[in-house]
Amino acid sequence: MNIPKNLTNWLETRASIPAYGGWVLLGITLCFFGAAINTMAGWLYVISGISVALLLVSAILPPRSLTSIVVQRRPIQPVSVGEELTIELVISNQTKQPITSLQVTDILPFVLGKPVSKAIDTISGQESHPWIYYYPTHQRGVYRWERVELGTGAPWGLFWCRRNRNCAARAFVYPLVLPLTTCPLVDEMGQEDSRKGDSRSRPIQIATTGLMRSLRPYRIGDPTHLIHWRTSARFGELRVRELELITGGQEIIIALDSGSNWEVAQFEEAVTAAASLYFYAQRQQLQVQLWTANTGLVKGERVVLETLAATIAGEDTTTSTSVSYPLIWLTQNPLSLSALPLGSRWVFWSSSSAPQAVVNWDYPGIIIQDGQTLHAQLQKPLK
């Protein structure tokens, strides 16, 4: 029997609707009732009455069995793109009677994926059933959803009903952080400013220069300009200077031009680059912050990752970049390169509407090329 979809959904979520077996029994009941009217046979009326009673009980019991079910959700731990979200629900039966033939569906947002269902045979009285499943991620973002849907045809499967439960969820999918072993954008920050400094004033120094405290063996990821070559030659292995950091309060700001319009693929690369540069600068013991158009300056691993997970191209600009600290400016808009603070760097993604030649050569930077990996390009020498 064909029933309009809207009516079907209304009946399933507010009452109950016959399943296939219910429609069959309803048809048989009508046949027996018609035969009883024609023949006036009492036993046909009895069979019809019993069938009607069975259908009524089958329509009432499924909704009643769902009223005592409570669904709780555990907090979802953040993951990076490509990893799996671990989603845990706890379905509790608050009555003393067992509940059977239960279907639980987690209604995920369509941008994350399709709903996920789980069939549960039995939940004993006053017991809980944990449901843990893993969902792959392909796109960074902050995903929110609220609905868990319960469905059952218990006890005989003649009628079916569904009920929604509010069960809010929030999942952070962080951008990738590339394992940079060197990055001239960060390593050479402030060097030319130090050379240009006036001899009567204290020169600007980056956070990886200062008074030498001691020498230690070289570790992967150490800046090459900190290698003490004379001592390395004497001992036959690379030795690196450990320095008393002299920064004079100077900070580096990784600034993502999220207020401009971007091509989707290039903006995702820019977000990955911002995360990678931030954590590389942290490993180099620099004072570093992240700037986006909507949030302004933020710092701290978790806050930065959550900010980058949530940022979108063309978002509202609530704060300006008018700061005195050097920027590493990530943009697809060449016009934004014309007024960068002293000592800044840039990373530029070209587009069909922005030719590569229109960039600011007053400060060194990198033009991201198609066909080359972002990981390799962030580690190449500056132009």
Q: Is the pLDDT of residue 198 over 60?
A: no
Handedness of CA 348, 279, 178, 263 (dihedral sign): negative
pLDDT value of residue 207: 40
Q: Which residues pair with 214 in a beta bridge?
A: 242
Give me the chain's average pLDDT, please: 85
pLDDT value of residue 210: 45
Read off the pLDDT band of 359 (50, 70, 90).
low
- The H helix count followed by the E strand count for the chain is 9, 17
pLDDT value of residue 6: 86
Q: Give me the mean pLDDT over the 5-15 stretch.
A: 89
Q: pLDDT digits over 143-188, tens only?
A: 999 999 999 998 898 999 999 999 999 999 999 999 999 998 888 7
Tokens describing residue 208: 């990886």
Q: Give me the mean pLDDT over the 102-130 stretch.
A: 95
Residues 250 and 138: their CA atoms lie apart, in Å, by 37
Beta-carbon contacts of residue 190 (< 8 Å; ≥ 6 apart): 204, 205, 206, 250, 326, 343
Measured in degrees and rounded to the nearest 5, phi and psi for residue 36 equal -65, -40
Q: Is the pLDDT of residue 211 over 50?
A: no
Residues 33 and 114: their CA atoms lie apart, in Å, by 44
Read off the pLDDT band of 352 (50, 70, 90).
low
pLDDT value of residue 30: 93
Q: Indicate the domain borders of the chain.
A: 1-174, 210-245, 252-378
Residues 69 and 43: their CA atoms lie apart, in Å, by 41
Read off the pLDDT band of 251 (50, 70, 90).
confident
pLDDT value of residue 351: 72
Please give the share of the chain, as a percent, with pLDDT higher than 90.
Answer: 57
Q: How large is the greatest C-alpha to C-alpha distance in the chain, in angstroms? A: 119
Q: Is the pLDDT of residue 135 over 90?
A: yes
Read off the pLDDT band of 228 (50, 70, 90).
confident
Q: Which residues pair with 120 in a beta bridge?
A: 102
The CATH T-level fold of domain 1-174 is: Immunoglobulin-like (2.60.40)
pLDDT value of residue 45: 92
Residues 317 and 26: their CA atoms lie apart, in Å, by 62
Handedness of CA 304, 308, 309, 312 (dihedral sign): positive
Q: Give me the mean pLDDT over the 275-285 stretch.
A: 92
Residues 366 and 237: their CA atoms lie apart, in Å, by 32
Q: E-assigned strands of 153-306?
A: 159-174, 210-217, 239-245, 252-256, 288-292, 296-298
Read off the pLDDT band of 240 (50, 70, 90).
confident
Read off the pLDDT band of 244 (50, 70, 90).
very low
Measured in degrees and rounded to the nearest 5, phi and psi for residue 155 equal -95, -15
pLDDT value of residue 143: 97
Q: What is the pTM for the complete model shown?
A: 0.77
Q: Which residues pair with 165 in a beta bridge?
A: 148
pLDDT value of residue 365: 87
Task: For domain 252-378, say whether CATH 3.40.50 is its number.
Answer: yes
Q: Is 121 helix (H, G, I), strand (E, B) or coil?
A: strand
Q: pLDDT digits over 71-113, tens only?
A: 999 999 999 999 999 999 999 999 999 999 999 999 999 999 9
pLDDT value of residue 98: 93
Q: pLDDT digits over 25-76, tens only?
A: 999 999 999 999 998 888 999 999 999 999 999 999 999 999 999 999 999 9
CA distances from 224 to 140, 219, 233, 240, 344 (A): 33, 10, 15, 8, 21
Q: Which of 210, 222, 229, 238 is nearest to 186 (CA)?
A: 222
The DSSP output letter for 74 is P
116 vs 353 pLDDT, higher one: 116
